[in-house]
Structure 1
Amino acid sequence: MSLLPELDEDKTIKNVKRFFEKEFPTLQNMAHTVFVDIKSPVISGMPVSHSADNGAETKVTLHAYAKDILGKVIKACGGLDQKHRHILELRYFKCLTWYEIEDLTGYGKTRGREILNESFLQFAWAFVDTEDLRIFK
Structure 2
Amino acid sequence: MDLIPEIDREATIKATKRFFKKVWPRIVLQSGLSAISLRSPEITDMPSSAPVGNSNEELVVRMLDSQTQVKNIIRCMDSLETKKKTILREAYISNIQNWKIAQEIGYSLPRYYQLKNEALVDFADAATVYGFDLLVEKS
TM-score (norm 1): 0.82
CA gap 1:10/1:48 in 2 versus in 1, 3 angstroms: farther
Question: d(CA) in 2 for partners of 1:70 and 1:8?
Answer: 26
Range with bigger deviation, 94-103 or 19-28:
94-103
- Partner residue, 2:135: 134
Task: Determine if contact 1:7/1:135 at 8 Å carries over to the other structure.
Answer: yes
Distance in 1, Cα, partners of 2:51 & 2:135: 29
1:42 is aligned to 39
Q: Structure 1: where are the runs of 5+ without partners?
A: none
Task: Calculate the aligned-residue CA RMSD, in Å.
Answer: 2.5
SS of 1:61's partner is: helix
CA distance in 1, matches of 2:51, 2:7: 35
Q: What's the CA shift for 1:129?
A: 2.0
Structure 2 partner of 1:22? 22
- The question of 1:103 aligning with 2:99 is answered no
Normalised by the size of structure 2, how large is the TM-score?
Answer: 0.81
Q: Which residue of 2 aligns with 1:114?
A: 114
**1:16 Cα deviation from its structure 2 partner:** 0.9
Which amino acid letter does the alignment assign opposite residue 134 of structure 1?
Answer: L
- Whole-Å separation in 2 of the counterparts to 1:85 and 1:55: 35
Alignment correspondent of 2:81: 81
| CA offsets 1:84-113 (integer angstroms, 9 cap, x no match) | 001111111100012321332222322221
One-letter identity of the residue aligned with 1:104? E
**Cα pair distance change 1:59/1:133, threshold 3 Å:** farther
Secondary structure of the residue aligned to 2:133 is coil
Shift of the 76–48 alpha-carbon distance from structure 1 to 2, 3 Å rule, reads farther
Q: Which residue of 1 aligns with 2:92?
A: 92
Separation in structure 2 between the aligned mates of residue 122 and residue 48 of structure 1, nearest angstrom? 24
Structure 1 position 42, deviation (Å) = 3.3
1:31 and 1:66 in contact (8 A); partners too: yes
Aligned to 2:6: 6
Equivalent runs, 1:61-72 vs 2, <5 Å: 61-72=61-72
Which one has the largest radius of gyration? Answer: 2
Q: State the aligned residue count.
A: 133
Distance 2:58 2:126 in 1: 25
Structure 2: runs of 5+ lacking an equivalent = none
How far is the alpha carbon of 1:124 from its aligned partner?
1.1
